[in-house]
Amino acid sequence: MELLNTEVPIDLPSWIIKHMHRVLYQDENGHTLPYGFWMASIFEAFDVLVQVWDSQTVKDVFAEKEDELIAMETTHQIEKATWEVRVVALQNELAQERPANIVTVRHLNQLLSALNTTSAS
Protein backbone atom coordinates (compact mmCIF):
# COMPACT_ATOMS: atom_id res chain seq x y z
CA MET A 1 0.00 0.00 0.00
CA GLU A 2 2.84 2.37 0.74
CA LEU A 3 4.07 2.14 -2.85
CA LEU A 4 0.62 3.03 -4.14
CA ASN A 5 0.44 6.06 -1.84
CA THR A 6 3.88 7.30 -2.91
CA GLU A 7 3.10 6.66 -6.59
CA VAL A 8 6.15 4.43 -7.03
CA PRO A 9 5.72 2.23 -10.10
CA ILE A 10 5.05 -1.42 -9.26
CA ASP A 11 6.06 -4.31 -11.51
CA LEU A 12 2.78 -6.15 -10.95
CA PRO A 13 3.42 -9.05 -13.39
CA SER A 14 6.75 -9.78 -11.70
CA TRP A 15 5.15 -9.57 -8.28
CA ILE A 16 2.37 -11.98 -9.34
CA ILE A 17 4.84 -14.49 -10.81
CA LYS A 18 7.01 -14.38 -7.68
CA HIS A 19 3.94 -14.87 -5.51
CA MET A 20 2.78 -17.83 -7.66
CA HIS A 21 6.25 -19.39 -7.39
CA ARG A 22 6.24 -18.95 -3.60
CA VAL A 23 2.79 -20.50 -3.25
CA LEU A 24 3.62 -23.47 -5.49
CA TYR A 25 7.10 -24.33 -4.21
CA GLN A 26 7.54 -22.86 -0.76
CA ASP A 27 4.11 -23.02 0.82
CA GLU A 28 3.68 -26.19 2.88
CA ASN A 29 -0.10 -25.84 3.14
CA GLY A 30 -0.68 -27.24 -0.35
CA HIS A 31 -2.45 -24.24 -1.83
CA THR A 32 -3.49 -24.27 -5.46
CA LEU A 33 -2.16 -21.92 -8.10
CA PRO A 34 -3.37 -18.38 -7.34
CA TYR A 35 -4.80 -15.83 -9.77
CA GLY A 36 -6.78 -18.40 -11.73
CA PHE A 37 -9.36 -15.89 -12.86
CA TRP A 38 -6.74 -13.47 -14.19
CA MET A 39 -4.78 -16.25 -15.88
CA ALA A 40 -7.94 -17.53 -17.56
CA SER A 41 -8.62 -14.04 -18.95
CA ILE A 42 -5.06 -13.79 -20.29
CA PHE A 43 -5.22 -17.25 -21.86
CA GLU A 44 -8.52 -16.39 -23.52
CA ALA A 45 -7.11 -13.12 -24.86
CA PHE A 46 -4.20 -14.95 -26.48
CA ASP A 47 -6.33 -17.91 -27.63
CA VAL A 48 -4.33 -20.39 -25.54
CA LEU A 49 -6.08 -23.75 -25.42
CA VAL A 50 -6.56 -24.85 -21.85
CA GLN A 51 -7.96 -28.19 -20.79
CA VAL A 52 -11.48 -27.79 -19.48
CA TRP A 53 -11.80 -29.25 -16.02
CA ASP A 54 -15.03 -30.54 -14.59
CA SER A 55 -15.81 -28.61 -11.48
CA GLN A 56 -16.51 -30.74 -8.49
CA THR A 57 -18.23 -29.62 -5.34
CA VAL A 58 -17.87 -31.01 -1.85
CA LYS A 59 -21.33 -32.50 -2.29
CA ASP A 60 -20.13 -34.40 -5.38
CA VAL A 61 -17.16 -35.82 -3.49
CA PHE A 62 -19.29 -36.87 -0.53
CA ALA A 63 -21.88 -38.41 -2.87
CA GLU A 64 -19.13 -40.54 -4.46
CA LYS A 65 -17.81 -41.53 -1.04
CA GLU A 66 -21.33 -42.31 0.12
CA ASP A 67 -21.79 -44.65 -2.85
CA GLU A 68 -18.50 -46.36 -1.97
CA LEU A 69 -19.57 -46.63 1.65
CA ILE A 70 -22.91 -48.18 0.67
CA ALA A 71 -21.09 -50.70 -1.54
CA MET A 72 -18.72 -51.55 1.31
CA GLU A 73 -21.58 -51.95 3.77
CA THR A 74 -23.42 -54.22 1.33
CA THR A 75 -20.30 -56.35 0.87
CA HIS A 76 -19.79 -56.47 4.63
CA GLN A 77 -23.41 -57.52 5.18
CA ILE A 78 -23.04 -60.32 2.61
CA GLU A 79 -19.79 -61.50 4.23
CA LYS A 80 -21.38 -61.29 7.67
CA ALA A 81 -24.38 -63.32 6.51
CA THR A 82 -22.04 -65.91 4.98
CA TRP A 83 -20.10 -66.19 8.23
CA GLU A 84 -23.30 -66.41 10.27
CA VAL A 85 -24.48 -69.29 8.08
CA ARG A 86 -21.11 -71.02 8.54
CA VAL A 87 -21.25 -70.52 12.34
CA VAL A 88 -24.76 -72.01 12.49
CA ALA A 89 -23.59 -74.98 10.40
CA LEU A 90 -20.64 -75.57 12.74
CA GLN A 91 -22.89 -75.28 15.80
CA ASN A 92 -25.24 -77.87 14.30
CA GLU A 93 -22.30 -80.15 13.51
CA LEU A 94 -21.03 -79.86 17.09
CA ALA A 95 -24.52 -80.52 18.46
CA GLN A 96 -24.72 -83.71 16.38
CA GLU A 97 -21.28 -84.89 17.57
CA ARG A 98 -21.93 -84.09 21.23
CA PRO A 99 -23.81 -87.30 22.20
CA ALA A 100 -21.09 -89.49 20.67
CA ASN A 101 -18.41 -87.44 22.44
CA ILE A 102 -20.23 -87.78 25.77
CA VAL A 103 -20.35 -91.55 25.35
CA THR A 104 -16.62 -91.62 24.53
CA VAL A 105 -15.73 -89.50 27.56
CA ARG A 106 -17.83 -91.71 29.87
CA HIS A 107 -16.15 -94.84 28.47
CA LEU A 108 -12.68 -93.31 28.98
CA ASN A 109 -13.66 -92.27 32.50
CA GLN A 110 -14.76 -95.84 33.28
CA LEU A 111 -11.49 -97.24 31.90
CA LEU A 112 -9.43 -94.80 33.98
CA SER A 113 -11.49 -95.59 37.08
CA ALA A 114 -10.92 -99.30 36.50
CA LEU A 115 -7.18 -98.74 36.10
CA ASN A 116 -7.03 -96.66 39.27
CA THR A 117 -8.84 -99.35 41.32
CA THR A 118 -6.57 -102.14 39.99
CA SER A 119 -3.37 -100.18 40.55
CA ALA A 120 -4.44 -99.21 44.08
CA SER A 121 -4.98 -102.82 45.14
The pLDDT score that the predictor gives to residue 24 is 75
Question: Looking at the domain assignment, is residue 91 inside a domain?
Answer: yes
Helices (H), 1-121: 2-6, 12-25, 36-45, 58-120
The answer to whether residues 64 and 71 touch, using CB atoms and an 8 Å cutoff, is: no
Helix (H, G, I), strand (E, B) or coil at 14: helix
Asked if 44 and 59 sit in the same domain, the reply is no
The pLDDT score that the predictor gives to residue 89 is 93
The pLDDT score that the predictor gives to residue 30 is 62
The pLDDT score that the predictor gives to residue 118 is 74
Asked if 3 and 37 sit in the same domain, the reply is yes
Question: Looking at the domain assignment, is residue 120 inside a domain?
Answer: no
Asked if 48 and 60 sit in the same domain, the reply is no
Question: Looking at the domain assignment, is residue 69 inside a domain?
Answer: yes
Asked if 34 and 82 sit in the same domain, the reply is no
The pLDDT score that the predictor gives to residue 1 is 57
Asked if 3 and 49 sit in the same domain, the reply is yes
Domain range for 100 is 55-109
Q: What does the pLDDT profile of the chain (121 residues) look like in tens digits?
A: 576 778 778 888 888 888 888 877 776 776 667 777 778 788 888 888 877 766 666 667 677 778 888 888 888 888 988 999 999 999 999 999 999 999 999 999 999 888 877 766 6
pTM score, whole prediction: 0.35
